[in-house]
Each structure stands twice: as structure tokens, then as C-alpha cells.
């Protein structure tokens, strides 16, 4: 039954003089409504045939057709069914044609009365490729195009009515008698043109629709211009980002662009974290009549708006900042912070700069002079900018980290080269001695026995020095690489001191040492340390103290809490002392005052470097003090007190090393 033929084509074929025209959907709606209004307003009982293409379009007008059906019993409504539209003879005749029928592509309305006639016979044009690209938000439905005929010419109307009635009969042959009466009633009339037609309603309808179209166009222009403004801003920020990886440049461009776009009284952008209580204001846009905040310290800790934004990581706005109480979403009422009065802020908006849930900064917009509400479009714009700033800051941060990392690598490379050179030199020195001694022994078999003994002794002593050097070097490498696993346990420091002393005595057996005294009170709290490593530090410090002090001198070991959660241990001697400008570098690798070649005291020059690594690794600090040459030296180290033992910590007793900040003291960090 489906007939793919087009009624429009049939009409144009029957009346070849007709010229079809293009109509946009709103014009057809306007014309159809005007034609229907004429039926509703008139006294005539005309024939009305309406083809709605699809059931959904008919549904929008169903009530109107009930009213039309109250005026005339000759109403025929056609549509392709989508839900429950079917052939029916109720208030009016409904004809449910098949979706494949040519009628599904056409919009028809025929009104044929005794006094007037009008018709609209149109076919929908498929959108071209470019039209199909128009986003639905810009009114694709409004842009639907039809081509066809709209006329009051009775002859044309009658022909169109006949064509449509024929199509109706194909679907509903049972209506033949009813349709025959229509034809008898209306078709013999011969009135033509605008006779009996009042064009007023048509003009009014068309003007209304034209106005509505203009309004929609205006809205579309506005949205396009907002979009364009947003894209321009985002672009200029992107350009600034590409030009510079300096966060200050990025923020200063962003604040100017954004402030200008919003015509804000004042706009601020700063970097911050959730925990910040204050920030200095550096980047600002402002209107000339508003006071500048640049150089001010902005209080964040006491600002409930900042706190709310930082906590939720989403924008918040206070429309009337001067109200006696602020009510922020999900929070109890709060008193406005001081800047509202001080800086004349009427409305206050904060939008966070967030990256992966991390607060990186804040965009603030102030409206000075009364309450204000920022539009959705403005909020969207600010949020888009805040997102761009976030990306830019992360990029800048990554770049800074990379630079830092690069510098560290370069420094590491320099250190490595130095180390290889120094180590090579330090190892070669004893090796050459050993080689010379052994070669002499081998090449001169007649060498006197005493000289042979001296040679052997010298070779053995340098071999031992090499062994120590390699051992210390390996220990230091292990410590510096961070591969040491500390076995922390609560220990009395006295135990470590005793072990260090007995190791010293075992090593220096037979040599006369200076007098060594210990002053370690019994009630001291335990330290949370790795005992073996602490003994190593103390042994090295004691070794040095004895090495650089005459046997007539004195060495004193003391320990006392230093007022915090640390225990301080000092190893003081009355020996040769250290020059003030050397107090720090004595902790460097291979530092020896006499230089490796003129060494009289033995040692590897790595002892203090090892001590520093151990103490830092245990969470303490180490530094040296000395009043200068021949005035003795004091080495201090702090060690963490065991947490379970903190309450035992007695109040510190003043000792010769306190107060801590003494002249010429330097921390070996």
C-alpha cells in the first residue's frame, strides 16, 4: 500500500506553472498555525487535511486538532506511526501511513472552505554535508529545510486536496463516501486568489516567528562570542606557557587576561597549598579606583572562604561579602574576615587551581562596591583558566625538578671524577712505598739485616694503611649510597662509650695515650640507635682526639640531654686544635691538615666523613668546635632519645658546650 511518490512532485507535474520555494521549518510552523487559526476563527466548516510526517510532530499539535475538529467534521490527519497512532475515525479521521511512504518526507496542510482556500505542500530536503555538521545546540531542528508551495490559489488547493484524498483512500478505502461528499461540497467553488482571506494573521504569525528566530540567533551569537572569548584567553595563556616555564610569567599573564575579560574590580592569582596560612600577593589585575594588594601578605588561615575552597577543591562565591554573617555551603555561619572591610570587597569569588586533587594555587575575583553574582559563563571561563594554570604550573614544576636533578647529576659526576682522582692518588702512595721496599729487598741481597728489617716494616705498615684505606672507603661508599640498614634499639650511651674506649685501648696497646675521662651520668635516657655504628663513631673521634693530643694532654667524653629529644655527646681534647675556617671541611673526604704525603699521624682522612654519614643516618647532627691552633678541639654529636624513654629525660644541666650557638661552631651537615 505504501506509495513512495511525492505529493509535491505530483502537484508540480499536474500544474507545471507552479514554482516551488525553500522554507525553513519555523516559517512552515508559522504559516501552518496561521492557516489553522483561520479555521478556528472562521465560521466556515472547511476541509482540513494535515500531514505531519511522523507521529511525534502530530502529538505536539493534537490538542489544536481537537479544537479544529470541533469546527468541522472534515478533518484528515496523516502521520507515520511511532507508538499508538493508527487508522481511526474518532473526532477526526487519522491515517497511519507506512514509514516508507513518500508522505513521511512531506509536510502538508490543506484548508479548503467555501469562502477561502489555502495550502502548503512541501517536501523536506536532506541536509547537505555542511549543514549536517551544525551542532544540535545551535538549533539543527530550526534549520530543517523544506521546498514546496504555499498558496491561496483555489485551483492549486483543490488539486493538492484531490491528490491527498487519493492517497488517503489508498490507506482507508472505507472513507470513499465521506470523501465524495467533500469533493461535492468544496471542489465546484471557483473563487480564486485572496478572496475571503484575511492576510493579517499570516503577517502577524510570520513576524512573531521572525522575532523568535532573531532572538535565537542573538543567543547563538552570544554563546559563540563567549566561546570565542574563552578560547582566546585559554590560547593566550597557552602561548605564555609555551614561551616560559617560569611560574611567575604564567601567573602574571593569566591574571591580566582574566581580569580584563571579566572586567573584574580586582583579580588575584597566587600559588598556595591547603596548609598555607599566608601568601604574598604578587600577581594582580585591578581597576584604577580599587586599592592594590601587591606586596601585601594575604591571610589564608583565618579566611573561611579560602578554607572552604581548599577543603572541597571547588569554587565558592560570597555574593554579599559585607553581610554580618557568611553562610558557605555545608558549613556553619561565620563572621566575614577582616579584608572585606579593609579592602572594600563587596562580592568574593575563589576558584582553586588543582592538579590531581592537589591544591596548587588560587584564583580570586573581587567585586568592589556592593553585592554581585558571577554568571555561569564567567564561572566556566575562570574554571577553564584555572585548569590551564594548573597544567602550566605542573609543567613548570616538572621543569624545575628536572633542572635540579640535572644539577645534582652534574655535581655527582664532578664528585665521582674527584673521588676517582683522590682515591687513585691515596692508593698509589702506599703502593709505591711497598713497591720500592720490595724491589730493594729483591735487587740487593747483600743489604744489611737492619736495613732489610726497616724496609720490611715500612712495606708492612703501608700495606696496613692501604687495607684501612680500602676498608674505610668501602664503608663510606656503603653509607653514602644509602644501602645501610640501621638496626635501631634503645641503648644506654654509656655502653657505647665503654666499647669505643676498650676498642681504642686494644688498638693503641703499648702507646702512651693522653688521660681520658668520661662524664656520663647514670640516669641519662636511652638512645634509639644502631649500637655498632655509634661505637664506630665514638672510636673514630677518640682515635683522633688521642692522635692529635700529646700524651700529657687530656681527653674528656661527656653526655647530656640537649633540651629537645636528643642526647648530646662530646669528645673534647686539649690537643693541637683546628683553625676556625677548617671546622667544616674536616668532615670532607680525605681532608688531612698535613696532606697525604706529610702524614705523621697515620689515618686515612675518611674517618670524619664516615662519622658524619653515620650520625646523619641515625637522625642526629655532628659538628666541631675549636678555639684555634693548639687550643684543643671538641666534637659534638646528637643522637635521638628513645621515644619510650623521653619522660626520663632530665632537664639539661649547663655544660661547657652550652649554649649550643657558640662562636666558630659549624654543623657537619
Binding site for ligand ADP (CB under 6 A): 540, 544-545, 548, 573, 575-576, 578, 586, 591-593, 603-609, 633
3-state secondary structure of 647: helix
Query: CA angle, corner 234, sides to 229 and 239, nearest 5?
Result: 125
Report the residue number, 73 or 588, with the smaller CB distance to ligand ADP: 588
Three-state SS string over 144-155 comes to: CEEEEEEECCHH
* DSSP tag of 495: H
Extract the C-alpha cell encoding 479: 653509607
- The least CB distance from residue 503 to ligand ADP, in Å, is 15
Torsion of CA 232, 238, 244, 246, to 10 degrees: 100
Q: Which is nearer to ligand ADP, 347 or 608 (CB)?
A: 608
Angle ∠(348,354,355) on CA atoms, nearest 5: 170
Q: How far is residue 374's CA from residue 382's CA, in Å, rounded to a whole number?
A: 10
In the complex with ligand ADP, the residue whose CB is nearer, 196 or 553, is 553
Residue with Cβ nearer ligand ADP (247 or 575): 575
Give the separation between CA 309 and CA 351, rounded to whole angstroms. 7
CB of 592 to ligand ADP, least distance (A): 4
Parallel/antiparallel/unpaired status of strands 47-54 and 106-112: antiparallel
Question: What is the spatial distance between Cα 92 and Cα 110, in angstroms, rounded to a whole number?
Answer: 15
* Minimum distance of ligand ADP from residue 605's CB (angstroms): 4
289 bridge partner residues: none
Instruction: Provide the minimum distance between the beta carbon of 245 and ligand ADP in the complex, in angstroms, as a whole number.
Output: 42
Please report the DSSP string for 88-105 in residue order: EESSSEEEE--TTSGGGG
Residue 320's φ and ψ, nearest 5 degrees, are -125, 85
Instruction: Give CA torsion, residues 172, 175, 181, 185, to 10 deg.
Output: -40
Contact status, residue 82 vs residue 56, Cβ threshold 8 Å? yes
How near is the Cβ of 626 to ligand ADP at its closest, in Å?
7
Shortest Cβ distance from residue 552 to ligand ADP (Å)?
A: 15
Alpha-carbon distance of 145 to 28, in angstroms, equals 9
Nearer to ligand ADP, 32 or 433 (CB): 433
- To the nearest whole angstrom, how small is the minimum distance from the Cβ of residue 504 to ligand ADP? 13
CB of 415 to ligand ADP, least distance (A): 17
Nearer to ligand ADP, 42 or 553 (CB): 553
Cβ proximity of 39 and 71 under 8 Å = yes
How far is Cα 207 from Cα 32, in angstroms, rounded to an integer? Answer: 14
Specify the residue, 491 or 609, whose C-beta has the smaller distance to ligand ADP: 609
Give me the helices (H) in 174-199, please: 176-186
**DSSP helix/strand/coil, 209:** helix
Tell me whether residue 259 or residue 607 sits nearer to ligand ADP (CB atom): 607
Least gap, CB of 589 to ligand ADP (angstroms): 8
Contact 35, 109 (CB under 8 A): yes
Q: Least distance (Å) from ligand ADP to the CB of residue 663?
A: 18
DSSP single-letter state for residue 646: G
Tell me whether residue 533 or residue 548 sits nearer to ligand ADP (CB atom).
548
**Least distance between ligand ADP and beta carbon 520 (Å):** 19
Question: How far is it, in rounded angstroms, from Cα 300 to Cα 323?
Answer: 20
For ligand ADP, the closer CB: 104 or 609: 609
Is 271 or 547 the residue whose CB approaches ligand ADP more closely? 547
Amino acid at each position: 500500500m505504501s506509495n513512495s511518490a511525492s505529493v509535491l512532485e505530483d502537484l508540480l507535474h499536474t500544474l507545471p506553472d507552479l514554482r516551488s520555494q525553500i522554507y525553513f521549518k519555523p516559517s512552515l510552523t508559522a504559516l501552518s498555525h496561521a492557516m489553522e487559526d483561520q479555521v478556528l476563527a472562521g465560521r466556515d466548516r472547511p476541509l482540513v487535511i494535515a500531514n505531519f510526517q511522523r507521529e511525534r510532530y502530530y502529538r505536539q499539535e493534537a490538542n489544536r486538532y481537537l479544537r479544529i475538529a470541533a469546527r468541522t467534521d472534515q478533518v484528515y490527519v496523516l502521520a507515520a506511526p511511532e507508538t499508538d497512532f493508527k487508522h481511526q475515525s474518532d473526532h477526526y479521521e487519522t491515517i497511519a501511513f507506512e514509514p516508507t511512504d513518500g508522505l513521511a518526507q512531506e509536510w502538508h496542510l490543506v484548508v479548503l472552505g467555501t469562502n477561502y482556500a489555502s495550502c502548503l505542500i512541501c517536501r523536506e530536503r536532506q541536509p547537505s554535508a555542511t549543514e549536517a555538521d551544525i551542532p544540535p545546540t545551535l538549533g539543527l531542528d530550526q534549520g530543517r529545510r523544506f521546498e514546496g508551495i504555499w498558496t491561496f490559489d483555489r485551483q492549486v488547493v483543490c488539486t493538492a486536496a484531490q491528490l491527498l484524498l487519493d492517497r488517503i483512500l489508498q490507506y482507508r478505502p472505507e472513507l470513499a463516501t465521506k470523501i465524495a461528499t467533500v469533493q461535492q461540497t468544496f471542489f465546484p467553488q471557483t473563487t480564486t486568489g485572496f478572496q475571503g482571506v484575511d492576510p493579517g494573521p499570516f503577517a502577524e504569525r510570520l513576524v512573531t516567528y521572525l522575532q523568535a528566530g532573531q532572538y535565537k540567533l542573538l543567543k547563538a551569537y552570544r554563546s559563540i562570542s563567549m566561546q570565542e572569548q574563552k578560547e582566546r584567553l585559554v590560547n593566550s595563556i597557552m602561548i605564555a606557557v609555551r614561551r616560559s616555564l617560569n611560574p611567575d610569567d604564567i601567573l602574571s599573564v593569566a591574571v591580566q587576561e582574566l581580569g580584563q575579560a571579566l572586567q573584574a574590580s580586582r583579580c588575584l592569582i597566587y600559588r598556595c597549598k591547603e596548609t598555607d596560612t599566608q601568601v604574598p600577593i604578587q600577581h594582580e589585575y585591578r581597576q584604577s579606583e580599587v586599592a592594590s594588594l601587591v606586596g601585601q601578605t594575604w591571610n589564608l588561615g583565618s579566611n573561611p572562604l579560602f578554607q572552604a575552597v581548599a577543603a572541597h577543591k571547588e569554587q565558592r562565591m560570597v555574593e554579599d561579602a559585607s553581610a554580618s554573617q557568611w553562610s558557605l555551603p555545608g558549613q556553619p555561619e561565620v563572621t566575614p574576615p577582616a579584608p572585606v572591610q579593609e579592602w572594600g570587597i563587596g562580592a568574593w569569588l575563589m576558584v582553586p587551581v588543582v592538579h590531581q586533587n592537589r591544591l596548587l594555587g588560587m584564583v580570586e575575583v573581587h567585586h568592589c562596591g556592593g553585592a554581585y553574582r558571577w554568571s555561569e559563563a564567567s564561572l566556566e571561563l575562570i574554571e577553564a583558566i584555572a585548569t590551564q594554570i594548573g597544567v602550566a604550573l605542573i609543567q613548570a614544576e616538572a621543569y624545575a625538578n628536572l633542572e635540579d636533578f640535572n644539577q645534582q647529576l652534574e655535581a655527582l659526576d664532578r664528585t665521582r671524577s674527584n673521588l676517582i682522582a683522590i682515591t687513585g692518588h691515596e692508593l698509589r702512595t702506599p703502593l709505591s712505598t711497598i713497591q720500592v721496599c720490595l724491589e730493594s729487598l729483591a735487587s740487593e741481597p747483600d743489604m744489611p739485616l737492619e736495613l732489610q728489617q726497616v724496609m720490611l716494616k715500612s712495606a708492612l705498615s703501608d700495606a696496613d694503611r692501604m687495607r684501612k684505606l680500602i676498608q674505610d672507603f668501602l664503608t663510606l661508599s656503603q653509607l653514602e649510597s644509602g644501602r645501610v640498614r640501621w638496626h635501631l634499639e634503645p641503648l644506654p650511651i654509656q655502653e657505647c662509650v665503654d666499647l669505643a674506649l676498650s676498642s681504642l685501648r686494644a688498638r693503641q696497646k703499648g702507646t702512651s695515650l693522653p688521660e681520658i675521662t668520661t662524664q656520663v651520668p647514670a640516669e641519662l635516657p636511652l638512645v634509639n640507635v644502631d649500637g655498632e655504628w655509634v661505637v664506630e663513631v665514638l672510636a673514630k673521634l677518640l682515635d683522633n682526639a688521642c692522635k692529635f693530643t700529646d700524651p700529657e694532654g687530656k681527653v674528656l667524653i661527656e653526655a647530656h640531654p640537649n633540651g629537645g629529644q636528643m642526647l648530646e655527646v662530646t669528645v673534647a681534647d686539649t690537643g693541637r686544635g683546628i683553625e676556625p675556617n677548617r671546622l667544616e671541611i674536616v668532615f670532607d673526604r680525605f681532608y688531612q691538615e698535613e696532606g697525604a704525603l706529610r702524614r705523621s699521624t697515620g689515618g686515612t682522612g675518611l674517618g670524619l666523613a664516615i662519622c658524619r654519614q653515620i650520625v646523619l643516618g641515625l637522625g642526629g647532627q655532628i659538628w666541631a668546635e675549636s678555639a684555634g691552633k693548639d687550643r684543643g678541639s671538641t666534637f659534638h654529636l646528637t643522637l635521638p632519645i628513645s621515644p619510650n624513654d623521653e619522660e626520663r629525660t632530665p632537664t639539661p644541666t649547663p655544660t661547657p658546650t652550652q649554649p649550643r650557638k657558640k662562636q666558630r661552631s659549624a654543623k657537619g651537615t
